[in-house]
Structure 1
Amino acid sequence: MTDAPRLDRQVCFALYAASRAATAVYRPLLDGLGLTYPQYLVMLVLWENEPRGVRELGEELGLDSGTLSPLLKRLEAMGLVERGRSAEDERRVAVHLTADGTALSSKASGIPQRLADAAGLSPRELDQLRETLGKLTAALHDSH
């Protein structure tokens, strides 16, 4: 069967394998912070700009409320975030960092460089990869 699809030629498998490998590099670093990878992503968004509405967080991370709500509850139980009704719009639930959540940012600051070092790619190559993956993601979202 020469026309059969081959695993080593599948973009989907390369993405899957790369994602698993990256998560494996992150795991011990995040264990030191007491965070899972999805929790780390939520914290990254909040460290960039907070407070954020729950809906905004979900849109930015591509997570539905059924996935995001338990993440936020756990981060709140850990004392890293607080959720509350927005003063401007009572229908909106805003997520704020606590002092501990803010302080965790400095402990996490070296994580992106550790992944970059493990990847063995130049900053330019990493930027190109991120741009290419962003284009791929956008195109795939637009295709359905």
Structure 2
Amino acid sequence: MSTTPGTPTTDWLRLDQQICFSLNAASRAFGGLYRVLLKDLGLTYPQYLVMLVLWEHGDLPVKKLGEHLRLDSGTLSPLLKRLEAAGLVRRERSARDERSVEVGLTEEGAALRERAVQVPLRIAAATGYEVEEIGRLRTQLDELTEALDAAAAAESAGRP
């Protein structure tokens, strides 16, 4: 936005002026498309994200998995239970630290990766963007996330 708050020509409380609404609308649109594309894999979008991390990194402690996904264990545990019930992951107490639970792929979970390869390709095609544009957008969103995390931390600490 080229104007600043307080500029009389802009009503900052209009819905169409809220970046958060635009991001939320885009997120919901992605969710709708992912729901359709993931149906054949038998996964929900949050379950797909768990699988992506495990396909990329292999076995991980629940805590580390949560860090990758920005999810707490209370949110992650039900996802993992459903994935385990579907035969895609296994959860085991760590031999090194009994307080820690390790999550890994089963053979079926590892094999699902081959079928999932088409999902990001179809998502990319649906955007109508070139690969470079998607990369730039993702970089901008990552930078935005960092800035907002820093701002939230500063606000929480009482220093805007």
Mark yes or no: TM-score above 0.5.
Answer: yes
Matching residue within 32, 37, 50 for 2:40: 32
Q: Which residue matches 2:89? A: 81
1:109 aligned onto 2:127: no
State which structure, 1 or 2, has the greater radius of gyration over its C-alpha atoms: 2
In 1: Cα distance, 2:10 partner to 2:122 partner: 41
1:129 aligned onto 2:130: no
- Report which stretch shifted further, 56-65 or 83-92: 83-92
Question: Identical aligned pairs, as a percentage?
Answer: 58
Q: Which residue matches 1:67? A: 75
1:9 Cα deviation from its structure 2 partner: 2.0
1:117 Cα deviation from its structure 2 partner: 0.4
| TM-score scaled by length of structure 2 | 0.86
In 2: Cα distance, 1:100 partner to 1:50 partner: 14
Structure scoring higher RCO (CA < 8 A, sep ≥ 6) equals: 1
1:2 Cα deviation from its structure 2 partner: 5.9
Q: Which residue matches 1:94? A: 102
1:3 Cα deviation from its structure 2 partner: 4.8
In 2: Cα distance, 1:52 partner to 1:74 partner: 17
Listed as ranges, the gaps of 5+ residues in structure 2 are 1-7, 153-160
Listed as ranges, the gaps of 5+ residues in structure 1 are none
RMSD over aligned Cα atoms: 1.3
Q: Which residue matches 1:15? A: 23
Q: Which residue matches 2:50? A: 42
SS for the counterpart of 2:90 is strand
Q: Post-superposition, which runs of at least 4 consecutive aligned residues in structure 1 deviate over 6 A? A: none
1:6 Cα deviation from its structure 2 partner: 1.9
1:104-127, CA deviations, whole angstroms, 9 ceiling, x for partnerless residues?
000000100101100000001000
1:14-56, CA deviations, whole angstroms, 9 ceiling, x for partnerless residues?
1001101111111111111110000000000000011011000
Q: Which residue matches 1:57? A: 65
In 1: Cα distance, 2:81 partner to 2:55 partner: 18
